[in-house]
């Protein structure tokens, strides 16, 4: 699983940062890619990455400001031309369906794949046997969500050495024991598979935030996450402006990660007032509070 940052700027693109789009690649887990937000020129950014639109399964939109959605109609259209024929689902706040459908109708765009649009109504956005996505409303003046992606726990490893000592040979029996079944061997020994399975491997938790001011509701999304992706539009010295424009500072993102007892923080959505040379200062402000902090740049890849 990897996070690929396709755009890490705020509001308007700059020479060094495009506007927001983050890909979560899950090729080993489900042979697909999820996209979080789709700012203008996201499809151009994808051309410079390893991402294939045909693998795109779901798009989660945090809110309807232009720097998070203006790339969506073009990307949906291009997916048809690039061989995408599997179903795609877009999740987002109320109004996302009207925006997408109007854009496609007015431009005369016909998609060659099934498109489902889900306007969020409730805390659980998506759930299957492997992943659960929940959301919580943030504080940005417009309806803006944070998403928490919870991976299901994986069964523990089978104690093959212990079974071999009992005379159990690898094969179909191992599969049954891995499922926790009890079997009787030819020599009469009864083997309880659950006794030969190690502790479950805890699933990963990824928290991805839309634009927001610091708010207590963020803790629900961030609690004990393996990684938090949070906006840090402004540095410490711009706290008043951050509050006025309903954004977060570096230290607010870091304080959230610390309070949430998260393992890792990645800051993004950096104002165009900051150049690449300012990155070290911005990340240092976070590390004063939460040491395991990194700053995202366009095309940066973080392995999870």
| pLDDT tens digits along 60-100 | 999 999 999 999 999 999 999 888 899 999 999 999 999 99
- The answer to whether 247 is annotated as binding is no
- The answer to whether 278 is annotated as binding is no
> Pairing state of beta strands 190-192 and 124-127?
unpaired
Percent above pLDDT 70 for the chain:
100
Helical H segments across the chain, by residue range: 27-30, 42-47, 66-69, 72-81, 96-106, 160-165, 172-178, 218-222, 239-244, 250-259, 279-287
- The answer to whether 269 is annotated as binding is yes
- The answer to whether 139 is annotated as binding is no
Which two three-digit tokens encode residue 156?
A: 């523990």
- What's residue 57's pLDDT? 98
The domain limits of the chain are 2-154+202-303, 160-196
At the fourth CATH level, the homologous superfamily of domain 2-154+202-303 is: Ribonuclease Z/Hydroxyacylglutathione hydrolase-like (3.60.15.10)
- What's residue 55's pLDDT? 96
- The answer to whether 110 is annotated as binding is no
Tens digits of per-residue pLDDT, 117-131? 999 999 999 999 999
Catalytic residues: 67
Instruction: Indicate the average pLDDT of the chain.
Output: 95
List the beta bridge partners of residue 5. 22
């Amino acid at each position: 699983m990897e996070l690929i940052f396709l755009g890490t700027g705020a509001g308007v693109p700059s020479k060094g940062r495009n506007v927001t789009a983050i890909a979560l690649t899950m090729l080993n887990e489900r042979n697909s890619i999820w996209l979080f937000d789709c700012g203008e020129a996201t499809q151009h950014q994808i051309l410079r990455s390893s991402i294939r639109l045909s693998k795109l399964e779901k798009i989660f939109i945090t809110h309807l400001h232009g720097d998070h959605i203006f790339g969506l109609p073009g990307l949906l259209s291009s997916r048809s031309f690039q061989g995408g024929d599997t179903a795609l689902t877009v999740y987002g706040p109320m109004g996302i369906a009207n925006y997408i459908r109007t854009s496609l109708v007015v431009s005369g765009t016909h998609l060659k794949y099934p498109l489902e649009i889900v306007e969020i109504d409730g805390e659980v956005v998506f759930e299957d046997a492997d992943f659960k996505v929940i959301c919580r409303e943030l504080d940005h003046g417009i309806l803006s969500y944070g998403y928490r992606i919870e991976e299901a726990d994986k069964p523990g490893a089978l104690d093959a050495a212990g079974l071999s000592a009992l005379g159990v040979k690898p094969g179909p029996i191992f599969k049954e024991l891995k499922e926790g079944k009890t079997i009787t061997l030819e020599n009469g020994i009864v083997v309880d598979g659950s006794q030969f399975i190690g502790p479950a491997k805890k699933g990963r938790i990824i928290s991805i935030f839309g634009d927001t001011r610091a708010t207590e509701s963020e803790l629900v999304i961030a609690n004990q996450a393996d990684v938090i992706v949070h906006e840090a539009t402004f540095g410490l010295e711009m706290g008043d402006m951050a509050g006025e424009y309903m954004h977060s500072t570096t230290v607010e993102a870091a304080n959230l990660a610390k309070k949430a007892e998260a393992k890792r923080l990645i800051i993004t959505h950096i104002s165009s007032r900051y150049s690449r040379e300012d990155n070290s200062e911005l990340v240092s402000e976070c590390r004063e509070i939460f040491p395991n902090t990194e700053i995202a740049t366009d095309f940066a890849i973080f392995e999870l």
